[in-house]
């Protein structure tokens, strides 16, 4: 699919500063469901029951079972050509970062560098009350073993950001600063529906960066993109990389 038009190709040199802004769609080809697609998690489950503090307090076992199921699923998959292309891009464009809404850790597993996880990481466990990170097994049985408790007595919870919670302040502020400085931002596999993260491609565009969207579907950002590639990330990203590699060689 890709074929970058000449006026965009000319914007790339080895010094080009790039941000890869990603959402659940980049992990779809690894076999991880997205949230808002037809078969996405939020078409089957109520986000307020599974991804909010109120939902957790009402039924911590139910919530943990869902996150443990997701942890097991993620442990059974591998990064796909979309993630792996970013590693290759980062060798060609060293001044680059990954700003992700994903909690699955697949960017890191693929060898991506400078990763900002805006919504936390599903493999981290922390205390519901004091937020302290807890060193407990990644997989446990909440029914037979009970939910681990922190030294302060609080229940363990997954280290992800839930609805109604703030994003990790330092990570968000670092990411926002980088977005003001980049020359190019790729927005890959995000519905651009959840704020404040969804502001990122708009901010990059407003600051004069070239913004290229990779998503088989339209999003609220599509009409603002310099280029919208309606293709799966695992197809478009390797092709984009080959094109840029050839152009810069």
Interacting positions 62-91 with ligand OAD (CB under 6 A): none
Q: Is 201 in the site for ligand OAD (CB under 6 A)?
A: no
Bond before 196 cis per omega within 30 degrees: yes
Give the residue, chosen from 1, 143, 152, 193, that forms a contact with ligand OAD under the rule CB under 6 A. Answer: 193
Q: Of 31-39, 56-64, 175-183, 203-211, which part binds ligand OAD (CB under 6 A)?
A: 31-39
Q: Of 5-13, 18-26, 57-65, 91-99, which part binds ligand OAD (CB under 6 A)?
A: 18-26
Closer to ligand OAD by Cβ: residue 201 or 232? 232
Interacting positions 145-164 with ligand OAD (CB under 6 A): 160-161
Q: Is 40 in the site for ligand OAD (CB under 6 A)?
A: yes
Q: Is 183 in the site for ligand OAD (CB under 6 A)?
A: no
- Nearest residue (beta carbon) to ligand OAD: 25
Closer to ligand OAD by Cβ: residue 75 or 193? 193
Give the residue, chosen from 32, 51, 110, 240, that forms a contact with ligand OAD under the rule CB under 6 A. Answer: 51
Q: Please, what is the minimum distance in Å from the beta carbon of residue 219 to ligand OAD?
A: 5
Distance CA 50, CA 47 (A): 5
Which tokens sit at 82?
């979309």
Q: Is 7 known to be catalytic?
A: no
Beta carbons of 3 and 237 less than 8 angstroms apart: no
List of residues contacting ligand OAD (CB under 6 A): 23-25, 28-29, 34-37, 40, 51, 101, 119, 160-161, 189-191, 193-194, 214-217, 219, 232-233
Which are the catalytic amino acids? 119
């Amino acid at each position: 699919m890709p074929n970058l038009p000449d006026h965009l190709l000319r914007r790339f040199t080895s010094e080009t500063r790039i941000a890869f802004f990603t959402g659940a769609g980049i992990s779809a080809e690894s076999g991880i469901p997205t949230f808002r697609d037809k078969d996405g998690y939020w078409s089957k489950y109520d986000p307020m029951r599974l991804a909010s503090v109120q939902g957790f307090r009402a039924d911590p076992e139910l919530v943990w079972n869902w996150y443990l199921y997701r942890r097991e699923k993620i442990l059974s998959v591998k990064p796909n050509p979309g993630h792996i292309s970013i590693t290759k891009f980062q060798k060609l464009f060293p001044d680059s970062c990954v700003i992700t809404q994903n909690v699955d850790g697949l960017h890191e597993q693929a060898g991506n560098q400078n990763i900002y996880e805006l919504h936390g990481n599903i493999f981290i466990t922390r205390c519901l009350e004091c937020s302290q990170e807890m060193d407990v097994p990644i997989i446990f049985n909440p029914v037979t073993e009970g939910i681990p408790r922190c030294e302060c007595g609080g229940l363990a919870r997954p280290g992800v950001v839930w609805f109604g919670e703030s994003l990790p302040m330092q990570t968000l502020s670092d990411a926002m600063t980088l977005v003001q400085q980049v020359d190019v931002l790729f927005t890959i596999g995000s519905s651009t529906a959840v704020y404040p993260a969804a502001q990122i491609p708009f901010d990059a565009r407003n600051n004069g960066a070239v913004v290229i969207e990779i998503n088989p579907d339209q999003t609220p950002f599509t009409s603002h993109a310099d280029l919208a590639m309606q293709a799966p990330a695992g197809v478009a990203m390797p092709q984009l990389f080959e094109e840029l590699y050839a152009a810069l060689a």
